[in-house]
Structure 1
Amino acid sequence: MPFASVNGQNLYYEDTGGRGPALVFSHGLLMDHTMFAPQVQALQGRFRCICWDERGHGQTADPQHCAPFDYYDSADDLAALLAHLGVKRAVLVGMSQGGYLSLRCALIHPQVVQALVLIDTQAMLEDPEQMPHHEALLRAWMEHGLSDDMAVTVEHAVLGQGWSGAAAWRAKWKKATPINLGHSFLALAQRDDISPRLPEIRVPALVIHGSQDIAITPDRAFAMAQALPDARWVEVPGAGHAANLTHPGPVNAAIEAFLARLG
C-alpha cells in the first residue's frame, strides 16, 4: 500500500497518476480519503487525483498512538506529501477539517497552491454554542465507545438524515480509538481564527456549501467566500455537511466548471 514517510508520519495516500493538473483531496473530521470517491470517479483521467488520510484518521492512524497536532502540522503534511509525489502545484480540495488545513497550507506554503475548492468549511472558530455538545459527546465516546444513538447523532451532523451509505460510516466510527479521537478533536477545538488572514490568499477559490449543513451553517462559509479576494460561491440545495459525498452531482458539476475556468 502507498505510504509517504514525511514529517514523522506515515501518510496513507492514493494517486491516480496521469499528466493532467493535480488535485489533492483532504477529508473532514471522522472521515477518510474514501469520502472523495465520487469526485475521483468523475475527474480521474483528465486530472491527477490524490487522496490521503490525515493524522488520526483512516490508514494513517495508529490505533495506539497519536501525538498532539494542529492544522498547521497537517498543512505541512500536505505540502510534504506533494513534494514526495513530485507535484509542484496542485488544486487543494478540502472538506470541513480538510478545508481548515487547505486554507492554512495556502497561507504557509503558497507556492504549492494553484487554487482552492472549499467544501462545507469555514475560516472562523467553532460555534461556541455547539462546543459543549461536541465535548460531551466526545467524552462519552472515548469512555464508553460509540453507542448506536450517538452514531445516529454523528450521522445526522455529517451526512444528514436518511442517506443510503450511512451504515458503512457508522461502522468506521465505531472502530475509532480514544487516542486518535482525542487529539483530532483537540486540533478542532484549539485552532486559531484565520478570518483576518483570508485577504492574503490570492489564488482562485470555489466555496461549496450544503444548504442544510447543521455542523457549519452556510452563513459562516459565505462570510469566508466574501473575504477571499477571488472566490465563487455555490450552495447545494438539500445537502448537509458532507455535500460532496451525499450530493455528488451538483458538487462535481461546480468543481468541473471551476477547473475549466482555471484553464
Structure 2
Amino acid sequence: MPHLDHAGASLFYTLDGPDSAPVLIFSNALGTDHTMWAPQAEALRGQFRILRYDTRGHGRSTLPPGPFTVAGLGGDVLALMDALGIREAAFCGLSMGGLTGMWLGVNAPRRFTRLVLANTAARISTAASWNTRIDGVLRGGMASLVAASVQRWFTPAFASAAGAGLDGLRAVLAGLDARGYAANCAALRDADLREAVGAIPVPVLVIAGSADLSTPPAAGRALADAIAGARYVELEAAHLSSFEQPARFTDALRDFLGAEASAGGDAGRRQESVSVSG
C-alpha cells in the first residue's frame, strides 16, 4: 500500500485515473478516511486523476509525535503533491478537509486551480466544545462517539433508510486511535481563518447542507461571502453531504471543475447561490 513518510507521520494515499488527466485531491472529514469519497471517486475517475489520502491520525495514516495545527495538515497535502510530481491540482475537502483547503488557498494558491470547500467554516465551533470532545474521547474511547457522530453526519430520515449502508463509516470511526482523533480536534480548535480567507485568489465553490448542525448553511454563506467571487451551493443534507447526496454533490463538483477558468481575475468571477433539493 502506498505511503509517504512526512513530518513524523506515514501518510496513506491512493492515486487513480488517467495519467494525462487533471488531478483532483480529496481530503476527508474528521473521524472518516479516504473511503468517504468512494462515490465521487467512482463517478469522476475517468475525467480526473484522483488523489485521496487519510489525514494524519486517521485510517492508515499514522500520528506524528507532538501537537500540530491546520498548517501541518496543509503541509501534508503539499508534501504528497511534491512526492508524486503534481505541480497543480483541484482540491475538494469536507469539514476538516475544507479547513485544510482554506489554508492551502491562502498559503499555496499557485498550486491549486480550484478549491471546493464543503460543509465547513473558517472557524468551526468553539474552543470549549472541542475541549469537551477531546476530554470525552480520551476518557471513553472512540466507541463513545459513534452514535452521536452519525446523528450529526446525517439527517434522521437518511440514516434510517441507509441502515447497514453506514456500517463502513461507523467502523472507520470506531477503529480510529483516540489520540489521533483528539489531536485533530485540537488542530481544529486552534484554527481560525476568518481574517485570512478573503485573500484566497483561487476560484472557490462552497457547498453546504441545509440540515447541517455542525457547520450550518449560515456559516457556508459567510465563507462564500468572504471570498471574492465564490460560488455557493446548498444541498438537502446534513454534515456529510457528499455521502448523503452523492449524485448532486458530484454534479456540483463536475459543473464547477469543468467550467473554464474565467479571465480577468476577480472581475471575471461571479458569485452564485444555488439551492439543490433532493
With the length of structure 2 as denominator, give the TM-score of the two structures: 0.86
SS at match of 1:196: coil
Alignment of 1:87-102 (within 5 A): 87-102=86-101
Q: Per the alignment, do residues 160 and 66 of structure 1 end up closer, same or farther by CA in structure 2, a change over 3 Å counting?
A: farther
What residue in structure 2 maps to residue 253 of structure 1?
A: 251
C-alpha separation between the residues in 1 aligned to 2:23 and 2:71? 21
Question: Structure 1 residue 262: deviation in Å?
Answer: 3.0
Q: Per the alignment, do residues 67 and 160 of structure 1 end up closer, same or farther by CA in structure 2, a change over 3 Å counting?
A: farther
Alignment of 1:80-159 (within 5 A): 80-123=79-122, 125-128=123-126, 132-147=128-143, 150-159=145-154
Alignment of 1:1-263 (within 5 A): 1-18=1-18, 19-62=20-63, 66-123=65-122, 125-128=123-126, 132-147=128-143, 150-161=145-156, 162-163=158-159, 164=162, 165-191=165-191, 193-237=192-236, 239-262=237-260
Whether contact under 8 Å (2:153, 2:238) holds in the other structure is yes
Question: Structure 1 residue 66: deviation in Å?
Answer: 4.5
Whether contact under 8 Å (1:116, 1:203) holds in the other structure is yes
SS at match of 1:92: strand
**One-letter amino acid matched to 1:140:** G
Structure 2: give runs of 5+ residues left out of the alignment. Answer: 262-278
Whether contact under 8 Å (2:138, 2:178) holds in the other structure is yes
Question: Structure 1 residue 96: deviation in Å?
Answer: 0.5
Whether contact under 8 Å (1:106, 1:201) holds in the other structure is yes
Whether contact under 8 Å (1:207, 1:221) holds in the other structure is yes
Q: Per the alignment, do residues 132 and 7 of structure 1 end up closer, same or farther by CA in structure 2, a change over 3 Å counting?
A: closer
SS at match of 2:196: helix
Whether contact under 8 Å (2:27, 2:98) holds in the other structure is yes
C-alpha separation between the residues in 2 aligned to 1:26 and 1:127? 20
SS at match of 1:240: coil
C-alpha separation between the residues in 2 aligned to 1:68 and 1:134? 15
**One-letter amino acid matched to 1:127:** S
Whether contact under 8 Å (2:59, 2:176) holds in the other structure is no
Structure 1: give runs of 5+ residues left out of the alignment. Answer: none
Question: Structure 1 residue 140: deviation in Å?
Answer: 2.9
Whether contact under 8 Å (2:224, 2:231) holds in the other structure is yes
Q: Per the alignment, do residues 134 and 73 of structure 1 end up closer, same or farther by CA in structure 2, a change over 3 Å counting?
A: closer
Whether contact under 8 Å (2:11, 2:61) holds in the other structure is yes
SS at match of 1:195: coil
**One-letter amino acid matched to 2:215:** I
Structural RMSD (CA) = 1.8
Q: Per the alignment, do residues 127 and 5 of structure 1 end up closer, same or farther by CA in structure 2, a change over 3 Å counting?
A: closer
Percent identity (aligned)? 30
SS at match of 2:251: helix
**One-letter amino acid matched to 1:60:** S
Between 79-88 and 53-62, the greater mean CA deviation after superposition: 53-62
Q: Per the alignment, do residues 221 and 4 of structure 1 end up closer, same or farther by CA in structure 2, a change over 3 Å counting?
A: same
Q: Per the alignment, do residues 235 and 138 of structure 1 end up closer, same or farther by CA in structure 2, a change over 3 Å counting?
A: same
Structure 1 residues 151-178: Cα deviation after superposition (integer angstroms, max 9, x where no partner): 2111111233343232222222222223
With the length of structure 1 as denominator, give the TM-score of the two structures: 0.91
C-alpha separation between the residues in 2 aligned to 1:171 and 1:76? 28
Q: How many residues align?
A: 255
Question: Structure 1 residue 134: deviation in Å?
Answer: 4.7
Whether contact under 8 Å (1:142, 1:181) holds in the other structure is no
